[in-house]
Structure 1
Amino acid sequence: MSQANSAQSVRIRILVVDAPPGVRFAVQRGRSDLLEPLNGQHEPLRFEFSLRLGLPLSTGSVNFLGEFAQGSPSERFVYINSGTLAGQSGSPWTRRAKLKLAFIPPEVVETVLHSGGMIEARVHGTMGDGGPVCASVNPNSVVWGVAPDVA
């Protein structure tokens, strides 16, 4: 990623599949704003946004920047909020899941930068207890890939 600079950005699409019925989800923007899904409560829930790319980290890893990138540079992640944290008053759920951006395969980022498209993540929305996904999402539970950048 040596050619990455702050002028570059990538589009991200998060698809939440098999979400528990009746639970609202939103991606957190900054400290408290929310990005609602593009298609309401239809499956899969779809969120799209952009992240800027800063100079690579000292480890050579991609340095994701922007209002949706949370955490320290070496531990960047995106929050997927659900229940009350997604603005659903009266929900029995108050959960937030972390999608760690360091687990995006470098070849996925390179392909998007050089050939176009967007980075797509497919995340299972329901935990074993039947509630919405929460905590740090196991990297094996997220499928990262390249998708066409279409509406």
Structure 2
Amino acid sequence: MNDDLHLRIILISPPADVDFGLQSGSGNKYKTVQKQVSGNGDLLFVLSVKIKNDKDGNIDFAGPFVQGSKGERFIYIDIGTYAGNPESEWGRRLKIPLRDIPVSVIEKLQPDNKLILETRVPGMGKDGGPNCATVKPFEGWHAVPV
């Protein structure tokens, strides 16, 4: 298997007036794309990752948005200063895990069936600021209509 997997991340009710964006790349050479400033509603991010099989036949993910080591891949949402706003009071990242996506769900996502893999994650943390670190609890990814 070596295909593209289309993903949609919905960040539910993040605190207002904070910059958010998808991280492309890693280390000092990353860039933030799809930058958005939160308001009163949800934020939406759409992206694609590569699906590949490792040497043991297990599914793995690759591409500019994919972070982490094999078996623990994730997507970063950059927040505040990490999203390119040096004046923000926030400097955080939110990890959206890619683990535990069943092969049966990925196989449903053929281009002709108009489905996308979606996750909904809380945008506000327990401290009232932007949610950060690894999403907990994480409800996972679900195939939904485009």
Alignment TM class, shorter chain as reference: 0.7 to 0.9
Structure 1 counterpart of 2:99, from 98, 102, 105: 102
Q: Note the C-alpha offset of 1:110.
A: 2.5
Residue 27, structure 1, aligned to residue 26, structure 2: no
Q: Residue type of the partner of 2:70?
A: P
Q: Note the C-alpha offset of 1:108.
A: 2.8
Q: Residue type of the partner of 1:24?
A: D
Residues 36-95 of structure 1: per-residue CA shift (max 9 Å, x gap): 15x76452211111111111463x642111111111122110001111101122111100
Task: State the aligned residue count.
Answer: 141
Residue 48, structure 1, aligned to residue 49, structure 2: no
Q: Stretches of 4+ moved more than 4 A in 1?
A: none
Mapped to 1, the partners of 2:138 and 2:33 lie a distance apart of 22
TM (norm. structure 1) is: 0.82
Mapped to 2, the partners of 1:135 and 1:54 lie a distance apart of 26
- Please report the RMSD computed on the Cα atoms of aligned residues, expressed in angstroms: 2.1
Q: Residue type of the partner of 1:133?
A: N
Q: Residue type of the partner of 2:143?
A: V
Secondary structure of 1:102's aligned partner: coil
Tell me if structure 1 keeps the 8 A contact 2:115–2:143.
yes
User: Could you say if the C-alpha distance between residues 33 and 147 of structure 1 is closer, same or farther in structure 2, counting changes exceeding 3 Å?
Assistant: same
TM (norm. structure 2) is: 0.84
Q: Hey, what does 1:123 align to over in structure 2? A: 121
Mapped to 2, the partners of 1:78 and 1:136 lie a distance apart of 10
Q: Residue type of the partner of 1:22?
A: D
Q: Which structure is higher in strand share? A: 2
Mapped to 2, the partners of 1:63 and 1:91 lie a distance apart of 35
Tell me if structure 2 keeps the 8 A contact 1:57–1:63.
no
Mapped to 2, the partners of 1:26 and 1:63 lie a distance apart of 23
Q: Hey, what does 1:144 align to over in structure 2? A: 141
Q: Hey, what does 1:64 align to over in structure 2? A: 61
Q: Note the C-alpha offset of 1:135.
A: 0.9
Residue 83, structure 1, aligned to residue 80, structure 2: yes
Q: Note the C-alpha offset of 1:143.
A: 4.5
Structure 1 unaligned blocks of 5 or more = none
Structure 2 unaligned blocks of 5 or more = none
Residues 96-144 of structure 1: per-residue CA shift (max 9 Å, x gap): 0111100334443232148441111111010010111111112x33442
Secondary structure of 2:8's aligned partner: strand
